[in-house]
């Protein structure tokens, strides 16, 4: 099974090819894993100024043409269709069992069209992770505007943020599970989620600065950071576990996790109206 993200095209493997004269022509040898890794690092350093400092942009560059704006509506629609079908099949049969030929067939295109956009199905998974993260960034940016919480206790901030986190992860639980599994093989698969977490904590710290009770605890690896990390760990564990083990509704889970964080921070709780929950 192929692993990692590759550049445009795909490897033919160690088979031999025949030309028109029916003579055997050896296939080009595969690039070794180490060579591909060096090529990726070189690309990250040399392609664009500052590229290596931005994991999200570096991930986009490693996917090449996949995440660049499509020049034509038809090509753009085909890319979206491949992403949608890939996610549907991943839910139906799991990432390991889904095949490129099945993705292409259901999307109504050839396998060649798939490989024009993705080096392999691992690249498709990374593209789906990026799409999830970009959606989550938009939601969190809209949610964590300081003016939205003016006059409200910090406990309300925690409850709104936690319910948004739970609903986001639950909506794409299978994708989150497969990205977690992929990160065990290649930590680079986690780059997008790391970017999301860092950006989210930066925005939450900004909101917390307006609350004297938590302002001095809103810093990297501080109490507020650790409280959020506890929530994230619970959500990742839930995505990996048998649903019967944590058979609890999303909003009930969010309420319990938010209460745990509020008590950990030792701040005063506040009345909560479920109607105030963010729409995800």
Could you report the per-residue pLDDT of 209-240, keeping only the tens digit for each?
Answer: 999 999 999 999 999 999 999 999 999 999 88
- pLDDT at residue 2, as a whole number: 42
Residue 62 reports pLDDT greater than 50: no
DSSP run (H or E) holding 28: none
User: What's the pLDDT score for residue 37?
Assistant: 36
Whole-number pLDDT of residue 247: 79
Q: What is the pTM of this model?
A: 0.72
Dist CA 201 CA 153 (whole Å): 18
The answer to whether 132 and 97 have CB atoms below 8 angstroms apart is: no
Nearest in space to 14 (alpha carbons), one of 31, 30, 32: 30
**Residue 268 scores a pLDDT above 60:** yes
- DSSP code per residue over 134-150: HHHHHHHHHHT-GGGGT
pLDDT digits (tens, 9 = 90+) for 133-178: 999 999 999 999 999 999 999 999 999 999 999 999 999 999 999 9
Instruction: Say yes or no to pLDDT of 14 above 90.
Output: no
The residues, ordered by sequence, that sit 6+ positions from 215 with a Cβ below 8 Å of its Cβ are 208, 209
Would you state the pLDDT for residue 279? Answer: 86
Per-residue confidence band for 71, with pLDDT thresholds at 50, 70 and 90: low
Tokens of 179: 């990205």
The pLDDT assigned to 115 comes to 95
Q: How does pLDDT run across 236-254, given as a tens digit for each residue?
A: 999 888 777 777 899 999 9
Regarding predicted confidence, which is higher, 36 or 118?
A: 118
Q: Which pLDDT tens digit goes with each residue over 99-124?
A: 999 999 999 999 999 999 999 999 99
Residue 72: predicted pLDDT: 67
pLDDT at residue 29 greater than cutoff 80: no
Comparison of pLDDT for 87 and 36, the residue scoring more:
87
Mean pLDDT of 42-48: 37
Contact of 201 with 220, CB cutoff 8 Å: yes
143's tokens: 């949610």
pLDDT in the model for residue 242: 75
């Amino acid at each position: 099974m192929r692993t990692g993200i590759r550049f445009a095209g795909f490897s033919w493997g160690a088979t031999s090819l025949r030309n028109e004269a029916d003579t055997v022509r050896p296939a080009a040898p595969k690039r070794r894993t180490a060579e591909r890794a060096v090529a990726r690092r070189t690309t990250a350093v040399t392609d664009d100024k500052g590229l290596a400092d931005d994991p999200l942009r570096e991930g986009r560059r490693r996917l090449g043409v996949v995440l660049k704006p499509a020049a034509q509506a038809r090509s753009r629609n085909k890319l979206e269709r491949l992403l949608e079908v890939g996610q549907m099949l991943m839910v139906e049969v799991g990432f390991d069992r889904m095949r490129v030929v099945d993705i292409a067939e259901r999307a109504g295109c050839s396998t060649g069209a798939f490989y024009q956009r993705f080096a392999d199905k691992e690249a498709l998974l990374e593209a789906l992770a990026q799409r999830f993260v970009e959606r989550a960034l938009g939601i969190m940016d809209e949610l964590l505007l300081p003016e939205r919480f003016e006059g409200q206790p910090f406990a309300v901030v925690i409850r709104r943020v936690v319910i948004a986190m739970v609903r986001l992860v639950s909506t794409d639980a299978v994708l989150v599970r497969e990205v977690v599994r992929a990160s065990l093989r290649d930590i680079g698969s986690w780059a997008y989620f790391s970017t999301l977490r860092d950006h989210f904590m930066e925005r939450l710290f900004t909101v917390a600065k307006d609350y004297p009770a938590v302002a001095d605890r809103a810093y990297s690896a501080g109490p507020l950071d650790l409280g959020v990390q506890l929530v994230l760990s619970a959500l990742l564990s839930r995505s990996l576990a048998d649903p019967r083990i944590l058979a609890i509704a999303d909003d009930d889970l969010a309420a319990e996790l938010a209460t745990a964080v509020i008590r950990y921070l030792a701040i005063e709780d506040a009345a909560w109206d479920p109607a105030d929950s963010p729409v995800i």
